[in-house]
Structure 1
């Protein structure tokens, strides 16, 4: 093939590949692209990743937040925001670690 045809083919393929994510983003109903998997029924790989990676990190964040809460308790008591500090440092990570459904990105129920 000559140089013009080769360049035209490469340009057409590159343009088509670059436009593909934009089309997929507007057409699909969820992140996986399969309408079977929704927020209420996440795929198996999301559940496994959540179980192996996210939950241990969230439990660790809850423990570190509890220690930070106890250390900062005198200062937060003087400031009058003990409840807010407890919620931010201990409550939120604990809720995400223990209440959130396996594989979901955020907790479904507002607490």
Structure 2
């Protein structure tokens, strides 16, 4: 087989495989059957990546956000948005670092 035909065959197979739908993530609902509370089933590589990469960055972001919140506190108090600043700088990264299950993409449960 000529090199040109080999390259064309590889490109055709790659394009065909990339067009197939991916069914990778599985979500199981809880015992109550309420779709608001769902439990993800992350694969092992997602858990390892989350433990080694994401969690240290999220903890560092929580610490940096806490420092930024304390520094900006006089200005946010004058502006009247202390609660919003605290939520976005401290609570949101802290929730993702400490409440989210290992390897999951959402933290805790949805509150509507």
TM-score between both structures, scaled by the size of structure 1: 0.78
Listed one character per residue, the Cα deviations across residues 20-58 of structure 1 (whole Å, up to 9, x for unaligned) are 1121xx2x3225xxxxx5461111111111112111111
Secondary structure at 2:40 match in 1: coil
TM-superposed deviation, 1:9: 4.5
- Residue 34 of structure 1 corresponds to none
- Residue 16 of structure 1 corresponds to 13
- Residue 69 of structure 2 corresponds to 69
TM-superposed deviation, 1:109: 1.3
TM-superposed deviation, 1:83: 0.3
The correspondence of residues 49-88 of structure 1 with structure 2, limited to 5 A, is 49-88=49-88
After superposition, the Cα gap between the structure-2 partners of 1:108 and 1:14, relative to the gap in structure 1 and judged at 3 Å, is same
More strand by share: 2
- Root-mean-square deviation (CA), in Å? 2.0
**Higher Rg:** 1
Instruction: Please state if 1:30 is matched with 2:24.
Output: yes
- Residue 107 of structure 1 corresponds to 107
- Residue 32 of structure 2 corresponds to none
TM-score between both structures, scaled by the size of structure 2: 0.77
TM-superposed deviation, 1:6: 5.3
CA distance in structure 1 between the partners assigned to 2:97 and 2:110 by the alignment: 15
TM-superposed deviation, 1:8: 3.9
CA distance in structure 2 between the partners assigned to 1:68 and 1:13 by the alignment: 52
